[in-house]
Amino acid sequence: MKTAKLLVASLMVLGLSSVLSANPLINEAKKAGLVPLPKDQKGVDKILKDNNIKTTPFSQAKAELGKKLYFDPRLSKSGIISCNTCHNLGLGGADGIAAAVGHKWKANPKHLNSPTVYNSVLNTAQFWDGRSGDLADQAKGPIEAEPEMATPAKVAVEKVSSLPEYVNEFKKIYGSVTFDNIADAIANFERTLLTPSRFDKFLEGDGNALTKAEQAGLKTFIDKGCAACHNGVNLGGSMQAFEVAGKYKFAKLGGFKGDKNGMVKTPTLRNVEETAPYFHNGAIWSLQDAIKEMGSTQLGITISDDEAKSMEVFLRSLTGKKPAITYPQLPVSTEKTPKPQL
């Protein structure tokens, strides 16, 4: 009798699994290059390895140290700008303004928008022009850049080295305080900022994880060709040609032209409803308007209001669960800590 019950239970599980994965749109999405988020850091490692992205071994100790550094405004020249200023974890990992504001409260000289930090470890390119291939290298850029945090590497090391609590942690984890190790710790924290959504459950085989309206929007998204650029685990994050079929109507704002070949990093669509304004120069605030602009600029087609609304419904399903982040208590400054300079 017990064997019969187990057999029935097994058949029911198999039947449920079959029903969940029977949705043909799941396979269509996978064929379009859409991939679910990894479930843990081993999964992150695999994706990084598959994409030849440089990384160091992850550890929770590194991530905890990196979290403090991520929130520490003393890494900036003024002492009031941290990584979280432009990549606010309470605002979708971005800042909600058109152009990033940095040292002396000046807007980015090229009017560049702050991309989200959530899931950014899985991008195959970092920065709008793709000049960094991994998060640790990317983390160095804003710290040193004059329009951003304006702290030379040597001064950043001097600041961190003036705080005994940091020094002890770096000695225990890395052996010493270096600019490379500061950046690596921040990158380890950013590795933890994954946001799984119902869309990932859908790709994993749960055909009912998305509503009928969301599935219709996904179907339109694929049929229109959006997945040609917005694909992979982040539905973006790779370098792609820009203005393929037409001119971006706000191209002159900031004058950014991409890398030397005119390629621009495709922004991730994960949590996109939380990261307005859109495009590299933050010129469009409406998600539907952004969808229509991509139709004319990249695909050479006109996307109707109804189609844009449908795709927007799908894109909102990409809003994921954020990891719980407790604001860290930072080490107390000492007499040796370089003073802020406004």
CATH number of the domain to which 225 belongs: 1.10.760.10
List the alpha helices (DSSP H) in 152-299.
Answer: 153-161, 164-173, 179-191, 198-203, 212-223, 287-294
Q: Which domain holds residue 284?
A: 27-39+195-317
User: Does any domain span residue 21?
Assistant: no
**Same-domain pairing of 273 and 248:** yes
Q: Is the pTM of this model over 0.75?
A: yes
Total tally of structural domains belonging to the chain: 2
For 45, the token pair is: 């490692």
**Same-domain pairing of 178 and 66:** yes
User: Does any domain span residue 335?
Assistant: no
List binding-site positions for heme c: 83, 86-87, 103, 226, 229-230, 294
CA–CA gap between residue 61 and residue 48 (Å, rounded): 20
User: Does any domain span residue 69?
Assistant: yes
Centre a 10 Å sphere on the Cβ of residue 25 and count the other Cβ atoms it contains: 15
**Same-domain pairing of 164 and 305:** no
In this predicted model, what pLDDT tens digit does every residue of 172-220 receive, in sequence order?
A: 999 999 999 999 999 999 999 999 999 999 999 999 999 999 999 999 9
For 43, the token pair is: 């999964």
For 32, the token pair is: 């379009």
* Residue among 64, 144, 148, 274 flagged as catalytic: 148
Predicted local confidence at residue 14, as pLDDT: 47
Predicted local confidence at residue 342, as pLDDT: 87
Predicted local confidence at residue 22, as pLDDT: 81
Q: DSSP of 286-331, one letter per residue?
A: -HHHHHHHHIIIII--PPPHHHHHHHHHHHHTT--PPPP-PPPPPP
For 190, the token pair is: 């950013």
**Same-domain pairing of 133 and 209:** no
User: Does any domain span residue 241?
Assistant: yes
Active site annotation includes 148: yes
**Same-domain pairing of 45 and 179:** yes
List binding-site positions: 83, 86-87, 103, 226, 229-230, 294
Structural domain ending residue among the three candidates 165, 191, 217: 191
User: Does any domain span residue 9?
Assistant: no
Residues in the chain with pLDDT values less than 70 = 1-21
**Same-domain pairing of 121 and 143:** yes
**Same-domain pairing of 135 and 251:** no
User: Does any domain span residue 326?
Assistant: no
